[in-house]
Amino acid sequence: MAHDASTPWLRRYGRAISRHWHSAAFRITLNYGLLTILTTLILLLFIYTQVVGVLRTQLSNQIGHAEQRLVGMFDAGGISAVVDAIDLAIADELDGGEDLYLLTDGDGRKLAGNVAAMVAHPGHTGLFETNVILRGEQVGGYFKLRTFPDGQILLIGHEAGRIDRVTDMILQGIGAAVALALVLVVLGAYVFRREFERRVGALRTTARRIGPGQLSLRVPHAHGSDEFSHLNHDVNAMLDRIEHLMTGVRHVSDTIAHDLRTPLMRMQARLQSVRHPGASTAGLRRAVDGVAEEIDRLNTLLGKLLQISELEAGVRRKTFGPRRLDLIAADVVDLYSALAEDRRVTLALRADRQAIVQGDAELLANACANLIDNALKYAHDTVLVRVEAGGEEVILTVEDDGPGIPQESTLRLGERFYRPDTTQEGLGLGLASVKAIVSLHGGGLAFSAGAGGTGLMVRLGFPKPASG
Amino acid sequence: MWRCLIIEDDCENARYIAKGLAELGHVSVICHDSVQALERATQSSWDVIILDRMLPNGVDGLAILSTLRSLGQATPVLVLSALTGTDEKISGLNAGGDDYLIKPFSFSELVARLNALIRRSQAGADQRRLQVADLVAYLDSGKVERSGKPIALQPRELRLLTYLMLNAHNTVTRTMLLEHVWDYRFDPQSNVIDVQISRLRRKVDAGQATSLIHTIRGAGYTLSDRVPAAEAG
């Protein structure tokens, strides 16, 4: 049966439509196209009503003139002149026959004209539209009615054929235009969908392949600078960052493995040394204390590493708010003042007031403490902490007058486990966490020699929070 | 003697804590299961509850804690966790925890913190005048006297001394001091706290027959006129 045969075809067609419908590009183009058609349609309808209006005015004028002519005849030669004029007019137009006349006397008897019978007419004297019988056929037309002083009634009018033809033409034009536009819109939507799919396709393919682990892949570079090439560029930048972080993680785990080994070896050695029977209680105690100390150190180390990776992952940013770096620095300087005094180092703070930084107070204090801690380790007799809020950035500098470090080593400062001076105690994580804290705050870390050409100056620059 | 409820699914760790507390003469009950824990916590009266954050079946200890608090239970709770982030710490304290300790921890740190918690919950409202032996601190005016003679202290030193006096005769650890006196949760690398304490000690104990501020080796400090057993220096 026909119905059965058409069902699979319909279903296939439906599937195709729904597939296209699920494409954003298709929907957007289609909706946009339909909107355009709608606006054009409104415009065309406006033009249509204007044209019809003009034609009607023209017709009305034409009928008016004919009426005036006949009235002139009546004034000159009475009703017979009018009858003659009508007969003449009808005879002239036998071929075209567009003017319509009917003249009746007061009793409704036809005196002249080509219209069969008087029609029901509205009470007013203006233009009206109606159907009449012309040579046995019904025709539509626009008419005016005039009553002569002797009681004769004149129906004068014009066939509507011309207006109808023009309006038909316009409507046909509109119809054809809309149909064509619809076809173009659907076609356009399809083409756009194809293009869209092609542009997104590269991105999708790359994303699909990166998922299982091919992290070095990048989205092919697109020419031009449209939205898609921007998107590709942004995605590539994101991938670069992810890859960098993952490489960092790999590097760190290698280093951790290495750094864990050393204390583990030491612990093992300590335990081995008291493992034999007859080890003294004092010896055992020393070994246990030593191992406990090593474990504490390892614990601290792991804690710091965890903190750094937490910082690098940017988890802490949700606790950010406007903080006064001058007060934070003052608190930390206060904490370290006793230690500085103990080491006979002058720890001085020079801070601009209201140095506001968007950030986390605890982390900023932590960074500051790390820098002061370092500076106090190496300083000869002065450590100067400065907070400046005058320029483009809010700057914290910590400067010591110690031995400083060679220029080439400054490049590696801030790497995890990097320690230019291994004679001092430390884990090699202080500057790494400072670096992580600063970059979490969107700032930068720089190293240079101190003011006198000696020592080390560490400079943290934080962006000023947007005012307002 | 304290009555402690230990809510912890790691049996070994729970037993280690319970054993240590028993050696100090305290009584503890271990509870591994979260449902049972809530019953236990509400039915008996405890001096302190030690609550692990990670419980079996994916229960967050903080859920138990907030339920307890919503039932009007005011027993001090020390939250244990392997989660290090400061955020975690803050959410632990927000849920109604009185203190937060990160695993792994030393037993002395745990005991010092429990001590501070229990003291705080048992201390009366009138804490405006603190006295340990002949050392007196007036918190309203910020004046400190030893044997009737005034001692001039910086604001931070006053806070440090107040905290030590509030926990008199008990050990306070360096991290406790950092957290409560300086409000820092990070670990400064050098011995800043030791130096701060020795500066305070010079002001409080200089020229006195008995020193009040003592170092407890491997643990922290105590302010007391009874000489602690494990003193060194």
Strand order in the sheet with B135-138: B129-132, B135-138, B143-146, B149-151
Distance (Å, whole) CA B178 – CA B160 = 9
Residue B87 has its nearest CB partner, among A304, A306, A319, at A319
The alpha carbon of residue B181 is apart from the nearest alpha carbon of chain A, in Å, by: 10
Task: Give the 3-state secondary structure percentages of chain B, helix then strand then coil, rounded to 5.
Answer: 40, 25, 35
pLDDT for the residue A62: 86
Determine whether the interchain pair A303/B187 forms a contact, defined as Cβ–Cβ distance below 8 Å.
yes
CA distances from A68 to A152, A156, B116 (A): 16, 11, 117
Residue A315 has its nearest CB partner, among B85, B106, B198, at B85
pLDDT means over runs of 10, chain A (468 residues): 61 77 79 88 88 86 87 86 85 66 83 78 74 80 84 85 82 87 86 83 85 80 79 88 82 77 87 86 89 85 82 76 92 92 93 91 92 92 93 93 82 76 74 90 89 86 79
Distance (Å, whole) CA A234 – CA A232 = 5
pLDDT for the residue A124: 66
Q: Name which of B180, B192, B193, B199 to mutate to probe chain A: the one with the most chain A Cβ atoms within 10 A of its Cβ.
A: B192
Q: What is the token pair recorded at A292?
A: 């406990």
Most confident of A138-152, A300-314, B22-36, B200-214: B200-214
Higher pLDDT: B161 or A122? It is: B161
The full set of domain ranges for chain B reads 3-122, 129-223
Higher pLDDT: A417 or B104? It is: B104
Determine whether the interchain pair A334/B188 forms a contact, defined as Cβ–Cβ distance below 8 Å.
no
CATH 3.40.50.2300 fits B3-122, yes or no: yes
Q: What is the token pair recorded at B78?
A: 């020390």
Determine whether the interchain pair B195/A370 forms a contact, defined as Cβ–Cβ distance below 8 Å.
no
For chain A, give the longest Cα–Cα distance: 159
pLDDT band at B126 (very low <50, low <70, confident <90, very high): low
Residue A41 is inside which H or E element, if any?
helix A24-92
Pick the CATH number of B129-223 from 1.10.274.10, 3.40.47.10, 1.10.10.10, 3.40.50.620: 1.10.10.10
B225's torsion region: left (phi>0), alpha (psi -120 to 50) or beta?
alpha
pLDDT for the residue B233: 42
Ranges of beta strands (E only) in chain B are: 3-7, 27-31, 48-52, 54-55, 59-60, 77-81, 99-102, 129-132, 135-138, 143-146, 149-151, 172-173, 213-216, 220-223
Beta-carbon neighbour count of residue A92 at 10 Å?
A: 11
The alpha carbon of residue B183 is apart from the nearest alpha carbon of chain A, in Å, by: 8
pLDDT for the residue A93: 65
Higher pLDDT: B164 or A319? It is: B164
pLDDT band at B201 (very low <50, low <70, confident <90, very high): very high
Residue A310 has its nearest CB partner, among B85, B106, B184, at B85
Partner A, chain B 104-163, Cβ-Cβ below 8 Å: 104, 106, 156
Beta-sheet pairing, B48-52 with B77-81? parallel
Q: From A317, which residue of chain B is nearest by alpha-carbon distance?
A: B87
B3-122 and B129-223: same fold? no
Domains along chain A?
Answer: 11-214 (no CATH), 227-310 (1.10.287), 317-463 (3.30.565.10)
pLDDT for the residue A92: 75
For chain B, the average pLDDT equals 85
Q: What is the pLDDT of residues B66-92, one digit of tens each?
A: 888 888 888 899 998 887 666 677 777
Interface of A with B (CB under 8 A): 289, 292, 296, 299-300, 303-304, 306-307, 310, 315-316, 318-319, 331, 334-336, 338-339, 341-342, 362, 365-366, 369-370, 373, 376-377, 426-427, 430
Higher pLDDT: B140 or A5? It is: B140
